[in-house]
Each structure stands twice: as C-alpha cells, then as structure tokens.
Structure 1
C-alpha cells in the first residue's frame, strides 16, 4: 500500500493548472490583461510553462537529494518513519 505522501504527489498537475488559472484570473481582475483570447492564451501559456519548469527543477533537486541521502532514507524507511499510515 502506498504512503499518503506519495499519493499527494500525484495531484501535482492539478496544482499547476490551479496556480496558472489563479494567476491569469488575478491579472484579469486587476485589468492588467485585456479580456481577449489573443492576450489571455499566450500569457496563460507563459505562466503554465513557468510552473512546469519550476516543477521539473524541484523534481530534479528532490531526486538529487534522495540519491545523496540514500542511507538516511533507507534507515527511516526501515524504522517505518516514511509513511504515516504505518504509525498506529
């Protein structure tokens, strides 16, 4: 059975979409972006691209840290510290 922490990571693409939508909505509400498709679509693409880049960089950093601290991770998993569901 998977840890709840790992399941939360699977919803990441929804979070990216929600963040992008929030930024574009804020720009529209502040009237910094005209309510035209020719303006909204490129800005939404730029914001979404930035979110994807940030996620990719964070994922690489997370992976590098896991590799660097492999012993600590294995030790924590051996002591059942990696998953809250195992603590009862």
Structure 2
C-alpha cells in the first residue's frame, strides 16, 4: 500500500494438500491501512483495519477456481457474479506468477 491509496490486497500462494498435488490455493487478504504517530518513539505507526480474508481453490492446476462467499469488490452495493469473477481472475493471474 502506498501513501496515495490506503486500501490493499495481500496475496499468498498456499502449498497444495498432500492428497491433491494439482491443487492451487490463493489466499487474499483485503485491508485498510491507517497511519498514526507514536509520540513516545517519535515514529509513524501503521495498522490494518477492516481486514478480511478469502481463499480461491483450484483442483486442476489453476485452470478453474472456486470460492466461497465473496465481498462486494466493485462497491456497487450488491454481491453478485461479477464480484466473484473479479476475485477468481485475480487468483488465476496470481497463481501464474512463479516468483512473486
């Protein structure tokens, strides 16, 4: 996250389970960054607010993903198939990155 955008998405490629070696799991954490100031140490402080996590799972090596409940990512007031499609596209793209 930068000084210009206080919202962020943290992505993590998780290891597959032992029983399913073609499994691809992508963890997504959505957060809001709050900046503050610690007068005792005279330094800036940062904390994450409204943090939520979602996980996308693929059992075919990252070709197709499934997700449980999804948040309203396009902020249009409803949670619909478009929100899920955006998160699945993000997981699919991130899973293709070899060395993030």
| Higher helix content, 1 or 2 | 1
Q: TM-score, normalised by structure 1?
A: 0.31
Larger radius of gyration: 1
Kindly indicate whether structure 1 or structure 2 has the higher relative contact order, using CA contacts under 8 Å at least 6 residues apart: 1
Q: TM-score, normalised by structure 2?
A: 0.28
